[in-house]
Amino acid sequence: MAIKKFQIYFLIFFASYGMLIPTRCLGNICLPKEHIALFVFGDSLFDVGNNNYINTSFDNLANYSPYGETFFNYPNGRFSDGRVIPDFIAEYAKVPLIQPYLFPGSQNYIEGINFASAGAGALAETHQGLVIDLKTQLTYFKNVKKELRQKLGDEETTSLLARAVYLINIGSNDYSVYLSEKYTQQKYVHMVVGNLTTVIQGIHEMGGRKFGVLNQPSTGCFPVIKAVVNGTKGSCLEEYSTLAKLHNNLLVVELHKLKKQIKGFKYSYFNFFDFSFEVITNPSKYGFKEGGVACCGSGPYKGYFSCGGKRGIKDYDLCENPSEYVFFDAVHPTERANRIISQFMWSGNQSIAGPYNLKTLFED
């Protein structure tokens, strides 16, 4: 008797739930009507474990302790103590955590998928053979589209891809391997941004319309740079942000061009440069105790990329409370910093995320 009553409550609950949230069924899969998928491209800032499934080196892996100690409680490939930016954006967009594309087993691409690979660049030559470069990530997206069409048909796939948001962060690795003997700075930046825009156009040709793009952060403020050049003056080494600045100036121009050229193209340009500079140099304003020294690593500013002890240097220090730090290791933000970055990407004003913020792109 008690069980029957319980079943009735259950039925009523589902009946009313169904009425409150309009659903749209695609074959045998039903989704909320306003469902928006999230597709993620990029490097270690966004990688949620793709590199765990490729043949690579420890430089491009974070599947060992102490990575992942916060939130997930196990190392999972994210270059942070906990969640990374796409995890928070998924939360704000009310979609589940987006899985890594290479995760073994069958995947449901209806909520989107993450192609990002730590160490990857816009240029195929960057860490070639050890990462999934941006162009290959686009090829994987083409495969996903094929599978979606088989599952949902052409019309629903077109609609899903047009409403989806495409989050992209790339370039830092290209600049970290830059050789001034081979290319001038101008030429190199044009190649990186050129390959990035080519991939954005490629996603657009596949049906994508809404793009969230991060510019290059204030690299000269990163512990890894300060340690390597042995900086002792202040918290940032401006001259090491030159390539980032050139990249950002060109990226603004190219995105503006795409908007003019392509019908229906919408983007959110996140000014990661200014925002990272602001948080690193004013940590207490954002609730951090330390902006310029990493939580995990060794050497000056904990700027040697040794967190976890598997990249040549065995000894490293680990702070007690990562949430007090902006940087978890010498280059990657803590979970708490990722949350704050994501909040500003999501709802920041025009000076930080424009012409739209991500919230607007998702609601559109």
Ligand X SMILES: *[C@@H]1O[C@H](CO)[C@@H](O)[C@H](O)[C@H]1NC(C)=O
Which residues are the active-site residues?
A: 44, 329, 332
Q: Please spell the DSSP secondary structure of 35-56, one letter per residue.
A: ---EEEEESTTT-SSGGGGSS-
Q: Which of 37, 123, 132, 161 binds ligand X (CB under 6 A)?
A: 123
Specify the residue, 75 or 121, whose C-beta has the smaller distance to ligand X.
Answer: 121
Q: Which of 51, 63, 137, 195 binds ligand X (CB under 6 A)?
A: 195
Q: Does 110 bind ligand X (CB under 6 A)?
A: no
Q: Which of 28, 55, 180, 284 binds ligand X (CB under 6 A)?
A: 55
CB of 56 to ligand X, least distance (A): 8
Specify the residue, 12 or 177, whose C-beta has the smaller distance to ligand X.
Answer: 177
Half-sphere exposure of 257 (CA within 13 A, CB side): 12
Specify the residue, 195 or 241, whose C-beta has the smaller distance to ligand X.
Answer: 195
Q: Which of 7, 139, 186, 230 binds ligand X (CB under 6 A)?
A: 230
Instruction: Enumerate long-range contacts of 201-207, CB under 8 Å, 24 or more apart.
Output: 201/258, 201/262, 202/138, 203/39, 203/41, 203/138, 203/141, 203/166, 204/258, 204/262, 204/265, 206/141, 206/142, 206/145, 206/161, 207/145, 207/157, 207/158, 207/161, 207/162
Cα–Cα distance measured from residue 137 to residue 133, given in angstroms and rounded to the nearest whole number: 6
Q: Which amino acid does the sequence have at 341?
A: I
Specify the residue, 108 or 350, whose C-beta has the smaller distance to ligand X.
Answer: 350
- x-or-dash string of contact with ligand X, 13-52, rule CB under 6 A: ----------------------------------------
**Strands 165-169, 210-214: parallel, antiparallel or unpaired by DSSP?**
parallel
Q: Which of 31, 110, 124, 313 binds ligand X (CB under 6 A)?
A: 124
Q: Please count the residues of the chain.
A: 364
Q: CA 67 → CA 17, 40, 231, distances in Å?
A: 39, 21, 27
Q: Does 205 bind ligand X (CB under 6 A)?
A: no
CB of 268 to ligand X, least distance (A): 15
Q: Does 143 bind ligand X (CB under 6 A)?
A: no
- x-or-dash string of contact with ligand X, 330-349, rule CB under 6 A: -------------------x
Q: Which of 191, 206, 258, 313 binds ligand X (CB under 6 A)?
A: 191
Cα–Cα distance measured from residue 155 to residue 356, given in angstroms and rounded to the nearest whole number: 27
CA dihedral (352, 356, 262, 109) positive or negative: positive
Point out which residues bind ligand X (CB under 6 A).
55, 123-125, 190-191, 194-195, 198, 230, 349, 351-352
